Amino acid sequence: MRLFMDSVIALMLTAILAGVVWYKKVDQNNHAMRDTARTEVRRFQQQIALQSALAKVERNDRGYPVTVDPDWFSGSLPSNPLLGVNHPWLEVAGAEQKDLIHPPNRVAGSSLIAKFWYNPHTGMVRARVPAEVSDQAALEMYNFVNESALPDLFTDGRAK
């Protein structure tokens, strides 16, 4: 009986240790994906600034590229590891969104929503985030990745 109890305790401790290790690994992976997405938004934004300065592409009256050419990135498109491969890469904001600095839908709730949003009128690039366990968690991730300070997910996205 003693051997049985010792075996059960050892098995439980092993299971707890495995759970802790698994949790740490998942948490590290999530942080790495957030950091990568943030870096990619910066890289994307830098390319927009570069193309604006070079003036070799069609620009609007505010000096920003009208659209984004994937060739600017030399075969290494900015990635958003927070969203799956089924999502389109980029959405270019239309005239109805010209005053926005954040996309109307910041959370990619379906695979039809693009990973990145670019507004040629403001020159802003934003990465969308996946749905989280709460709106607050999604907001925190969105603000971190895009280096913004939105008070909630549902503001209108205009500059204040």
pLDDT per residue as tens digits for the range 39-71: 999 999 999 999 999 988 898 888 899 999 999
Q: In terms of pLDDT, which residue wins out, 151 or 9?
A: 151
**Torsion angle in degrees (nearest 10) through CA of 37, 26, 84, 146:** -20
Q: At what angle do helices 135-146 and 2-54 cross, to 10 degrees?
A: 50
**Number of C-beta neighbours around residue 102 at 10 A:** 22
* pLDDT of res. 3: 84
Q: Stretch 123-131: mean pLDDT, rounded?
A: 96
* pLDDT of res. 116: 97
Angle at 29 between CA 18 and CA 84, to 5 degrees: 120
Work out the pLDDT band at 22, boundaries 50, 70, 90. Answer: confident
**Torsion angle in degrees (nearest 10) through CA of 124, 125, 130, 131:** 10
Domain that holds residue 69: 2-146
Please report whether residue 49 resides in a domain.
Answer: yes
Please report whether residue 159 resides in a domain.
Answer: no
3-state secondary structure of 152: coil
Our count of domains for the chain comes to 1
Please report whether residue 120 resides in a domain.
Answer: yes
Please report whether residue 88 resides in a domain.
Answer: yes
Please report whether residue 25 resides in a domain.
Answer: yes
Name residues whose C-beta falls within 8 Å of residue 147's C-beta, 6 or more positions apart in sequence: 38, 41, 42
The candidate with the shortest Cα–Cα distance to 97, out of 156, 42, 160, 139, is 156
**Under 8 Å between Cβ of 142 and 153:** yes
* pLDDT of res. 18: 83
**Under 8 Å between Cβ of 33 and 81:** yes
3-state secondary structure of 140: helix
Please report whether residue 101 resides in a domain.
Answer: yes
Can you tell me the distance from the alpha carbon of 67 to that of 57, in angstroms, rounded to the nearest whole number?
9
* pLDDT of res. 157: 67
